[in-house]
Amino acid sequence: MDNSDSEAGRALAITLARHSIHNIQPDLDVLKAGRPIYATNPDSLMRASQVIAIEFQTIAAANNYWRP
């Protein structure tokens, strides 16, 4: 699971998480204003990485874990 296929899966997980946030808050200026707050806060970074981890679970299962 440690190859270029799964890297695309990680990128998709980040995209899905971003789309959720854009859906709730479509105003990009508001999102940009929040970025310095959460991107320098370890707990916020952990929260974000948890969402990515959950989305990745789904993507990895959907791709049958990129098994050959």
Q: Which residues bind a second copy (CB under 8 A)?
A: 1-2, 10, 12, 14, 16-17, 19-21, 23-25, 30, 33-35, 37-63, 65-67
Residue closer to a second copy (CB basis): 4 or 30: 30
| Shortest Cβ 23–a second copy spacing (Å) | 6
C-alpha span between 40 and 9 (Å, rounded): 25
Compute the least distance from the CB of residue 8 to a second copy, in Å: 9
